Amino acid sequence: MQRVIASGVALLAFAALADEHVVSIRDSLFVPASLTIKVGDTVRWVNNEKRTSHSVLFPGNPSLESERMMPEDAWTRRFDQPGSYPYTCGPHPHMLGSIEVKP
């Protein structure tokens, strides 16, 4: 029982250290286009367009694509592994972004 409680406390402490980063989608761009974050951080993409829907697609893992985000919608992903994560917009492949996750 003490191990379970200690694990839960450690997990909560780790979550408290994580940051949330915001990427705005506007003018058919991801702003900022690149981010460097730490393991455990989250990124929230927010569609700030007036009329266009977008998604976030990771070509290295095509099954990982957000739902279509209508204007003012958002999608969040937590990054638990270090590495480089290039992404694009599913319906607009000219839109490019990248997340660099550091340990």
For the 19-102 domain, the top CATH level (class) is mainly beta
CA distances from 64 to 2, 88, 95 (A): 37, 11, 17
Higher-pLDDT residue of 67 and 5 is 67
Q: Convert the pLDDT of each residue in 39-90 to its tens digit.
A: 999 999 999 999 999 999 999 887 889 999 999 999 999 999 999 999 999 9
Residue 8: is its pLDDT beyond 50? no
Which residue's structure tokens are 């980063």?
21
pLDDT score of 63: 83
pLDDT score of 16: 60
Residues 57, 81: contact at Cβ < 8 Å? no
pTM confidence score: 0.83
Which residue's structure tokens are 């981010």?
35
DSSP for 26-39? ETTEEESSEEEEET
